[in-house]
């Protein structure tokens, strides 16, 4: 038995659409152009967000988001983040001069724990950066209320959870900013690609400029343009750079592929959810957690997590998965707790974070729920064409004594 993390996420129909696009005469423009703009509008309609900007990856979406927030927030402001997330979430916070404040996770959502969030909020806290992990909705009423009551910006990382909902509303529409990824293994793909979606017109204009080297001409707000032109009359208005930014542009090829993939996203998510319930209903609840909050999810991965810490059982489980050719990743999203990663070591000794009422540098054991998932949780691929019999066979292997 062979089971990969993802299978056939790019269809023959997708490839045919790309061939047709590239075969046009005259040859189409291939860099960021009208196909990108078309997909941004389609995405906004699907998601329900007014301002959408396609970039070249979900990691770039994270980076450009915090580069924009850097213009609006005080230097060194605190951003609350979960340990279970992707590296680019933490690096975007660090590289733009913010302090990441780690918050333990809720075992039922795998996202930020609302009670620990309350403990971590200080006068320096300006942003809550919440990751919806592997298709699970991570929002709760209390998290939203804490953000509102403390005037905190909510940024949603939805890179792994396209189409997930909270109370019937798509995640990625609750925060001021949400970030998406179209990486090959995700719910839909443009090979590489991402999106920044925001309710804030100012953030949108900043992101437009910062997507393309900080160039003023990328802004669509005439008032912003005129302000810079008046202040810098000696510069060619086509080449005014407002910030030391980057090239995060997508290509027309990515947008054409994303446009075709979006057509079947909802249908694919429905099948993934059916697969997910088959997996949960056949998993041994005495060994694995089956009590996660499944409502509103759009899981592209199965997440077996041991109920109790047991390194011997963990290793035995991995041996069986390897024996049967079942590809997996230990630690859930991002390889587990980011606090255990080597890149964080150079920063963490200088952190002064509120932990149980005391300010000090954190360590992984301060976040026991995240650390449990780091050691005793995995994800296994879930894709639309996965047969029910194969799912049941995977659970049999996991349940085996």
For 85, the 3-state DSSP assignment is coil
Both tokens assigned to 388: 């029910």
Q: pLDDT at position 1, please?
A: 65
pTM of structure: 0.96
Please choose, from the candidates 197, 142, 185, the residue with its C-alpha nearest in 3D space to the C-alpha of residue 166.
142
Look-up of token digits 């996991």: 398
Which domains occur in the chain, in start order?
A: 12-262 (3.40.640.10), 265-399 (3.90.1150.10)
For 367, the 3-state DSSP assignment is coil
Please choose, from the candidates 202, 236, 237, 233, the residue with its C-alpha nearest in 3D space to the C-alpha of residue 217.
237
Burial label for 226, CB within 10 Å (0-12, 13-18, 19+), is: exposed
Element (H, E) at 277: helix 265-282
The helix, strand and coil proportions of the chain, stated in percent and rounded to the nearest 5, come to 45, 15, 40
Question: Are 154 and 142 contacting, i.e. CB atoms less than 8 angstroms apart?
Answer: no
Work out whether the CA dihedral 80, 83, 89, 95 comes out positive or negative.
positive
Q: Within a 10 A sphere around the Cβ of 196, how many other Cβ atoms? A: 31
Question: Are 224 and 208 contacting, i.e. CB atoms less than 8 angstroms apart?
Answer: no
- Beta-carbon contacts of 279 under 8 Å, excluding residues fewer than 6 positions away, are 302, 382, 391, 394, 395
Look-up of token digits 């009208």: 34
Q: pLDDT at position 349, please?
A: 82
Pairing of strands 301-302, 378-381: antiparallel
Q: Within a 10 A sphere around the Cβ of 263, how many other Cβ atoms? A: 12
Question: Are 205 and 51 contacting, i.e. CB atoms less than 8 angstroms apart?
Answer: no
pLDDT truncated to tens, each residue of the chain (401 aa)? 688 888 878 999 999 999 999 999 999 999 999 999 999 999 999 999 999 999 999 999 999 999 999 999 998 899 999 999 999 999 999 999 999 999 999 999 999 999 999 999 999 999 999 999 999 999 999 999 999 999 999 999 999 999 999 999 999 999 999 999 999 889 999 999 999 999 999 999 999 999 999 999 999 999 999 999 999 999 999 999 999 999 999 999 999 999 999 999 999 999 999 999 999 999 999 999 999 999 999 999 999 999 999 999 999 999 999 999 999 999 999 999 999 999 998 888 888 887 888 888 899 999 999 999 999 999 999 999 999 999 999 999 999 98
Predicted confidence (pLDDT) per residue in 323-371, tens digit: 999 999 999 999 999 999 999 988 888 888 878 888 888 999 999 999 9
Q: pLDDT at position 249, please?
A: 97
- Beta-carbon contacts of 324 under 8 Å, excluding residues fewer than 6 positions away, are 1, 3, 397
Integer Rg of the chain from CA:
22
Count of helix runs (H) and strand runs (E) in the chain: 14, 14
Question: Are 132 and 292 contacting, i.e. CB atoms less than 8 angstroms apart?
Answer: no
For 386, the 3-state DSSP assignment is coil
């Amino acid at each position: 038995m062979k089971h990969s993390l993802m299978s056939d996420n790019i269809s023959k129909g997708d490839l045919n659409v790309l061939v047709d696009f590239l075969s046009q005469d005259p040859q189409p423009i291939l860099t960021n152009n009208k196909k990108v703009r078309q997909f941004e509008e389609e995405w906004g309609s699907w998601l329900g967000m007014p301002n959408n900007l396609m970039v070249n990856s979900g990691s770039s979406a994270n980076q450009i988001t915090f580069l924009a927030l850097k213009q609006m927030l005080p230097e060194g402001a605190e951003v609350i983040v979960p340990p279970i997330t992707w590296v680019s979430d933490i690096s975007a916070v660090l590289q733009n001069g913010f302090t990441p404040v780690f918050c333990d996770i809720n075992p039922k959502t795998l996202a930020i724990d609302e009670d620990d969030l309350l403990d971590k909020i200080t006068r320096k806290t300006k942003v809550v950066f919440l990751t919806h992990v592997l298709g699970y909705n991570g929002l709760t009423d209390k998290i939203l209320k804490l953000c509102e009551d403390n005037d905190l910006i909510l940024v949603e990382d939805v890179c792994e959870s396209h189409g997930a909902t909270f109370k019937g509303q798509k995640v990625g529409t609750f925060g001021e900013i949400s970030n998406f990824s179209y990486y090959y293994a995700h719910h839909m793909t443009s090979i590489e690609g991402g999106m920044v979606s925001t309710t804030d017109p100012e953030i949108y204009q900043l992101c437009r400029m910062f997507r393309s080297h900080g160039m003023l001409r990328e802004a669509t707000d005439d008032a912003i343009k005129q302000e810079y032109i008046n202040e810098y009359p000696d510069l060619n208005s086509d080449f005014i750079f407002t910030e030391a930014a980057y090239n995060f542009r997508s290509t027309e090829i990515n947008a054409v592929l994303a446009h075709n993939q979006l057509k079947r996203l909802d249908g694919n998510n429905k099948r993934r959810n059916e697969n997910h319930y088959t997996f949960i209903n056949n998993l041994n609840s005495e060994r694995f957690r089956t009590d996660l909050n499944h409502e509103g999810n759009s899981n592209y991965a199965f997440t077996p997590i041991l109920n109790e810490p047991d390194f011997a059982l963990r290793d035995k489980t991995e041996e069986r998965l390897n024996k049967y050719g079942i590809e997996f990743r230990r630690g859930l999203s991002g390889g587990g707790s980011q606090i255990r990663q080597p890149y964080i070591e150079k920063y963490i000794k200088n952190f002064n974070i509120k932990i149980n009422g005391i300010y000090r540098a954190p360590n992984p054991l301060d976040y026991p729920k995240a650390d449990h998932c780091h050691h005793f949780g995995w994800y296994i691929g879930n894709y639309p064409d996965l047969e029910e019999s194969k799912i049941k066979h995977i659970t049999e292997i996991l349940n085996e004594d």
